[in-house]
Amino acid sequence: MKKVVVTGANGQLGKCLQAISANFPELAMTFLTKEELDISNIELVSDFFKKNNFHYCINTAAYTNVEKAESDRESAFKINAEAVKTLSEVCSENDIVLLHISTDYVFDGTKTEPYSEEDTTNPLNVYGASKLKGEDYIQQLCDKYYIIRTSWLYSQYGKNFYTSMLRFAEQGKKLSITTAETGTPTNANDVAEVCLQLVDSSASIPTGIYHYANKGETTWYGFAKAIFEEMGLLKEVDLSATDFFETQAKRPTYSVLNTKKMTRNMAIKIKDWKQSLKAHVMVTKDKS
């Protein structure tokens, strides 16, 4: 049985992993919140990992507030880069395979076709720069790793674009959503499934950097409109599009990810973002 530790267990992806872990009985899962293990403390991490003989570490811990990172660079780099360095060192010392979640924001958005794993990185904001530094540490320090870049994650858990739109709709807020960015909304539950599938069959999958996102592309306005359509709320919501939205952090105008390497190496079928959103709304409606 493979022993797997998940860091950042209280985050969006960590909760998705917990929710589906029972579907992988051959994996012995340990879920750790930041309160249970400070991954920036190398002594604590080293001691804990040595005692438990893990085979895999899935790192979902991250500083994800893109706006706040601009004024809190130190915290963003501490969590997204220096803590990842600690995990990389400890995983390497203990022969643990590190699976790390990264982002489309390592790219600058100047392309007009989906980004592949080989494309040049050039983050525009502090968040993207901190995530790229974490990637660099992994590649420098780990012999066995998987870096999975994904985009525009949403789920039923925590604060994300999907849950925010539903909350704003309940509050009757007027919504003006930008069309200035194009990317792919990605169901975090799908990412969780792929992570555990990868761990389950990793012996046959080459290590390295992979892109995983749902298929297709849209703008944030297109995503918002689709959410309200699926929820049957479109006629009730005051929703409009704008080509301008002022933010502290610069964002890539185009950050769609090419997922051919992932589908080729894992032989998986990736859902279209609209298809995955529809399935997600149906499931969450049934549970409510």
CA 106/CA 121 separation, integer angstroms:
6
| Active-site pick, 56, 63, 105, 127 | 127
Rg (Cα) of the chain, in Å, rounded?
A: 19
Of the candidates 101, 92, 81, the one whose C-alpha atom is nearest the C-alpha of residue 6 is 101
Could you give the count of Cα atoms lying within 13 Å of 247 in the half-sphere of its Cβ? 19
127 given a catalytic annotation? yes
E-state strands within the chain:
2-7, 27-32, 56-59, 97-103, 145-150, 153-154, 175-178, 182-183, 186-187, 208-211, 218-219, 239-242
3-state SS class at 153: strand
Counting every residue, how long is the chain?
288
CA 201/CA 189 separation, integer angstroms:
19
Tally of CB atoms within 10 A around 173: 13
Go through 63-94 and write b for each residue having 16 or more CB atoms within 10 A of its CB, e for each that does not. Answer: bbebeebbeeeeebbebbbbbbbbbbbbbbeb
Helices of type H across 104-259: 126-141, 161-171, 188-200, 220-231
CA 3/CA 116 separation, integer angstroms:
31
Of the candidates 277, 274, 258, the one whose C-alpha atom is nearest the C-alpha of residue 162 is 277
- Residues with catalytic roles: 127
